[in-house]
Every structure is written in C-alpha cells, then in structure tokens.
Amino acid sequence: MKILVGLGNPGEKYSKTRHNLGFVVVDRLARRFGVEVSRRRFRSLVGEMSLDADRLILVKPLTYMNRSGLSVKRVLEHYACSKESLMVICDDLNLPSGRLRIRGKGSSGGHKGLESIIASLGSTEFPRLRIGIGLPPQGEASEYVLMPFLKGEKGVVEEALETACEAVIDWVRGGIDQCAKKYN
C-alpha cells in the first residue's frame, strides 16, 4: 500500500494558486484512473485506487497547508503504513518554475506544509515530490504562493504537472530511488 498526499489549501479561493499544486496532481491522477477523492476522513478528502498490484490512497488534507501534518499522521496511523510508503507532493519556491525534485528524505526547505508533516511524524524521512514555482519577482513569498500562475507560466506548469503524475506512477511501480534517478 502507498499513500499519496497532495498539499494545498481547501476551498475555491485557493484552487488555482501556486500553493495548490499538490492538490492538482492528486486530482489529475484521480481523473486518469476514474477515482473520486471525495470521502471525508482524517480531516482530509480521500480516495482509493489500485495501480497494478498496489493499493494507492489519495489524500488532500483539509487542515490548510500549515497544519497538514495533523491529517498525514492520522492517515498513516489508520492504514498502519510506514513513512517510506508515503509520498508528499507540494510546490517549491526554491526551484525554477516547472522543475521537479524528488527525494526520499530531507528538510522542509522552509515549506510550511512539510514543516507541519515533519513535526507531526517526528521525522524527515519520507518521500516528497516538489514542483518548482520560482521565487517571487517582488513582494512577500506568503502572498506569491497564494497567487494564480501568470498566462506565460501556464505551459511550463502544465508540463510539470503531467510529468509529476508520471513520476508518482513510477514511484508506485519502482520505488523512490528509481523515480528520483529518472526525474531529477
């Protein structure tokens, strides 16, 4: 069993913002495989699917970004899964727009959602897939992440989202090392 958590903020107000790329990847995978991520459990929206011989739990925390760890911990405890069976998808200010970075462990890099998960799990050792959104040209990062993408950025982001979906599928099938080698 694998657990895929897409980070974002709930509500229409945030649906098209840079900070919701994790939600977008979960939604795209759900559509691709004909699954609904609509069951309310663990302070999240949850869906389940099979991919080859693996059961995949799709999760979108409803706790808002800064408290994502509360949901993630409950999901892992309920399904009795190890942290290595978890993949967290989020945006990343420190990566150029559209670039992916996949790691099996690591720091939060200042991402509040990852900070919350690390604090709740008491560990930095869980896989994550970061999707670059680039640094803000000016202003505060907290405002930038809650803005929609500009028209000129949409092509790069669209390609990154499709690649992220493929990376998740490869992670389920081949593990984190193989996935990181292919997409980093």
Domains observed in the chain: 2-183 (3.40.50.1470)
Q: Is 19 a catalytic residue?
A: yes
Say yes or no to pLDDT of 124 above 80: yes
CB 97 within 8 A of CB 155: no
Catalytic residue among 2, 19, 112, 130: 19
**Angle of helix 154-174 versus helix 21-32 axis, rounded to 10:** 60
Q: How confident is the model at residue 72 (pLDDT cuts 50, 70, 90)?
A: very high
The answer to whether residue 139 scores a pLDDT higher than 80 is no
In this predicted structure, the answer to whether residue 9 has a pLDDT above a threshold of 80 is yes
What are 12-68's pLDDT values in tens digits? 999 999 999 999 999 999 999 999 999 999 999 999 999 988 999 999 999 999 999
Between 39 and 138, the higher pLDDT residue: 39
pTM of the full predicted structure?
A: 0.95
